[in-house]
């Protein structure tokens, strides 16, 4: 049972998205809408069509991240990678950029990179524009400036014919609607950055009573990372955010009663039965070497021969360069002997020399260097045939004339210095394998106990990480108390949970327990979990697009954008409430207000005296 609770990190690498060829049904008889769930954690995109030939699921799913690399030295320039093209986020963690601040897109140049990736991989090959209607999700109560910049990007950059904005959690609520629609309910949406409590009355969002908690899956992953790094400081670098997200997704759960669950974990038996062990990768090289004395001696001799061959090759290359340089200087000296003074002085200027004496001195030094290099190469060819018998061979001769070359040789030999010193001259002692004094695999294990419930608990108790906010239960009670009792009873009959951060086991039971404590005695309520909390937002947006494809409701056309501005929104059942910008108008100056001043001015002829 203990062995069965040891889990290895998958460390899965992202597979780059292929370039898809859209079917003919996407463009005929008219271009079908393109649905994009623009989430702060993941972007999902696909087509909305009632034709069976068009897949009714998102064709692209990738993290909403981009990274710009510096490019290889001496090679191509900087390269920008998006989403799954990154492979793994950890090596590029310090380069990753997101267009989102919390759940609101604010970096539109990064948002443009994400949209370029979507259009390219879905095979949108229209010339100079995207001629498909766009259905795009946005944040609850999205700021007008953010919507204005997004509309400007879609209409000005991509020339889309029309666009529709909707709230992702309301699309999920719309997809999971029951028989009677429009209906009312209380939507609890918890995502990567934020958690929202959204009251829906008669199928429309009551935006005035919406509440947001600035906590989600990202904060839970950071909190879990800090807990485990404090618990295992020896594995600080191995405890990465990607692995913490994997633990949250697969090994964490919500306690129905947090204090009671902590009391259970105090029992050693309960701890042993419910603790999960996460195996970090490790290498067996630390266990020691089992090579014999003869094998080590042979390996040292091979390495020394390779090093000597490498040094000989470098000396030959340096000798060739010095010989070419010497021939060039001798040719310039011949110009002086032949009396070609103009060419001689021009060559001296190119060499940054002042006189013929300086040229002669440099020729002498270079000639001596070439002769010594030739002697060293001949000596090295003789010495390379001699077998090395000492356990710690002497350092081969270094070139005294090329300081840069000599330093490289010294560094190369120093790399092998620990290897040469592994064995002392006492070769007659038997070599035995080094036995570890502890289990190395167990040393590289993370024991998950109360961390399994502490990290996801922050959405109910933000004070665990020092946040001065209310949790889900307090916020839900606050929202319900803003309505009369009759509407409260209607709302609690359909408490709907959606979002990727609601997939913890036990979350539904925890919300039911919190509602049971806050609702009147013997009152009824119902809690429903989305059929697919992660993808239902895209499915709901697709359902809405298919049903409203030929209608004008909810679609913002290019004419609307040019006449009413980028912040304009056409409302529908899953959209935000449009609140236009109202600038205060200056009150016009009436004739009654101007009359006294005119009379006062006419009473005196000198304005200065009046002042």
Instruction: Please confirm whether the linkage preceding 348 is cis (ω < 30° from 0).
Output: no
Domain that holds residue 139: 11-214+469-581
Q: Is residue 219 part of a domain?
A: no
- In the numeric block, which tokens belong to residue 186? 């209380």
List b or e across 459-496, with b for residues whose CB sees 16 or more CB atoms inside 10 angstroms. bbbbeebeeebbbbbbbbbebbeebeeeebbbbbebbb
DSSP three-state, residue 111: helix
Q: Which of 359, 383, 407 is the last residue of a domain?
A: 383
CA torsion, points 258, 261, 262, 266, in degrees to nearest 10?
180
List the beta strands (DSSP E) in 73-176.
79-82, 96-97, 100-101, 104-105, 134-138, 162-167
Q: Give, in degrees to the nearest 5, the angle at Cα 122 between 116 and 123.
A: 90
Same domain, 481 and 339: no
User: Across residues 12-24, what is the average pLDDT?
Assistant: 90
Same domain, 356 and 487: no
Which of 357-361, 422-426, 518-522 comes out lowest in average pLDDT? 422-426
Same domain, 191 and 310: no
Q: Is residue 172 part of a domain?
A: yes
Same domain, 342 and 486: no
Confidence of residue 376 (pLDDT cuts 50, 70, 90): confident
The percent of residues in the chain predicted with pLDDT above 70, rounded, is 82
User: Across residues 429-442, what is the average pLDDT?
Assistant: 61
Same domain, 38 and 168: yes
Q: Kindly list the strands in the beta sheet with 6-8, ordered across the sheet, starting from the edge strand earlier in the chain.
A: 6-8, 276-279, 445-448
Q: How many domains does the chain have?
A: 2
Query: For the chain, what's the residue count?
Result: 611
Same domain, 89 and 198: yes
- Give the whole-angstrom CA distance, residue 511 versus residue 477: 11
Q: Is residue 26 part of a domain?
A: yes
DSSP three-state, residue 192: coil
- Provide φ and ψ at 61, rounded to 5°: -145, 115
Same domain, 82 and 171: yes
pTM of the predicted structure, to 2 decimals: 0.72
Q: Is residue 547 part of a domain?
A: yes
Same domain, 300 and 191: no
Q: Is residue 267 part of a domain?
A: no
- In the numeric block, which tokens belong to residue 238? 């191995």
Same domain, 58 and 153: yes
Query: Which of the two residues, 291 and 604, has the higher pLDDT score?
Result: 291
Query: Which of the two residues, 542 and 412, has the higher pLDDT score?
Result: 542
Q: Is residue 379 part of a domain?
A: yes
Provide the CATH number for the domain around residue 492.
3.30.420.40
The predicted pLDDT at position 128 comes to: 77
List b or e across 502-513, with b for residues whose CB sees 16 or more CB atoms inside 10 angstroms. bbbebbbebbee
Has residue 165 got a pLDDT over 90? yes
Same domain, 97 and 206: yes
Q: Is residue 30 part of a domain?
A: yes
The percent of residues in the chain predicted with pLDDT above 90, rounded, is 57
Confidence of residue 245 (pLDDT cuts 50, 70, 90): very high
- Give the whole-angstrom CA distance, residue 274 versus residue 258: 16
Q: Quick one: which of 58, 160, 165 has its CA closest to 554? A: 165
Q: Is residue 16 part of a domain?
A: yes
Query: Which of the two residues, 128 and 398, has the higher pLDDT score?
Result: 128
> Treating both helix axes as pointing N-terminal to C-terminal, what angle do 356-383 and 341-350 enclose, rounded to 10 degrees?
60
Q: For 518, what's the count of Cα atoms within 13 Å in the CB-facing half-sphere?
A: 21
Same domain, 373 and 473: no
């Amino acid at each position: 049972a203990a062995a069965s609770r040891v889990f290895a990190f998958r460390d899965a690498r992202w597979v780059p998205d292929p370039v898809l060829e859209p079917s003919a049904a996407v463009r005929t008889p008219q271009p079908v809408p393109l649905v994009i769930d623009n989430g702060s954690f993941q972007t999902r995109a696909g087509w909305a069509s009632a034709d069976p030939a068009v897949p009714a699921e998102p064709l692209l799913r990738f993290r909403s991240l981009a990274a710009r690399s510096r490019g290889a030295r001496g090679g191509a320039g900087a390269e920008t990678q998006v989403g799954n093209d990154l492979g793994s986020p950890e090596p590029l963690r310090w380069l990753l950029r997101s267009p989102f601040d919390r759940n609101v897109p604010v970096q539109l140049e990064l948002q443009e990179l994400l949209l370029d990736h979507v259009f390219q991989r879905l095979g949108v090959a229209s010339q100079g524009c995207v001629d498909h209607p766009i259905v795009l999700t946005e944040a609850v109560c999205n700021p007008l400036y953010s919507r204005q910049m997004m509309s400007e990007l879609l209409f000005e950059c991509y020339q889309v014919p029309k666009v529709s904005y909707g709230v992702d959690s309301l699309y999920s609520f719309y997809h999971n609607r029951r028989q009677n629609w429009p209906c009312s309910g209380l939507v609890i949406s918890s995502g990567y950055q934020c958690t929202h409590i959204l009251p829906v009355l008669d199928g429309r969002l009551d935006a005035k009573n919406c509440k947001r908690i600035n906590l989600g899956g990202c904060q839970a992953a950071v909190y879990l990372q800090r807990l485990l790094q404090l618990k295992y400081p020896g594995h600080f670098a191995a405890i990465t955010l990607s692995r913490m997200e994997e633990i949250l997704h697969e090994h964490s759960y919500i306690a129905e009663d947090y204090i009671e669950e902590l009391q259970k974990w105090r029992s050693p038996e309960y701890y042993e039965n419910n603790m999960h062990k996460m195996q970090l990768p490790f290498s067996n090289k630390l266990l020691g070497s089992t090579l014999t004395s003869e094998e080590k001696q042979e390996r040292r001799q091979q390495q020394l021969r390779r090093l000597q061959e490498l040094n000989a090759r470098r000396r030959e290359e340096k000798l060739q360069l010095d010989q070419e340089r010497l021939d060039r200087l001798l040719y310039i000296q011949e110009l002086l002997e032949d009396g070609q003074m103009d060419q001689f002085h021009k060559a001296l200027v190119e060499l940054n020399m002042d006189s013929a004496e300086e040229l002669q001195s440099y020729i002498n030094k270079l000639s001596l260097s070439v002769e010594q290099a030739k002697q060293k190469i001949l000596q090295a060819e003789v010495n390379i045939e001699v077998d090395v018998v000492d356990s710690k061979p002497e350092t081969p001769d270094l070139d005294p004339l090329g300081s840069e070359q000599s330093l490289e040789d010294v560094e190369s030999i120093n790399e092998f210095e620990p290897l040469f010193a592994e064995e002392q001259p006492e070769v007659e002692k038997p070599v035995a394998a080094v036995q570890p004094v502890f289990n190395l695999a167990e040393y590289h294990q993370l024991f998950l106990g109360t961390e399994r419930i502490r990290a996801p608990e922050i959405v109910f108790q933000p004070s665990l990480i020092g946040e001065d906010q209310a949790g889900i239960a307090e916020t839900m009670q606050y929202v319900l108390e803003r309505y009369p009792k009759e509407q409260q009873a209607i709302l609690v009959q359909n408490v709907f949970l959606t979002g990727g951060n609601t997939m913890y086991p036990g979350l539904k039971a925890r919300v039911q327990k919190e509602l049971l404590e806050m609702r009147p005695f013997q009152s009824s309520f119902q809690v429903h979990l989305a059929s697919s909390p992660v993808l239902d937002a895209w499915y709901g947006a697709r359902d809405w697009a298919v049903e409203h494809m030929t209608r004008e409701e909810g679609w913002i056309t290019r004419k609307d954008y040019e006449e009413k501005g980028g912040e304009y929104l056409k409302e529908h059942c899953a959209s935000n409430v449009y609140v236009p910008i109202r600038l205060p108008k200056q009150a016009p100056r009436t004739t009654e207000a101007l009359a006294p001043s005119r009379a006062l001015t006419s009473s005196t002829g000198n304005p200065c005296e009046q002042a």
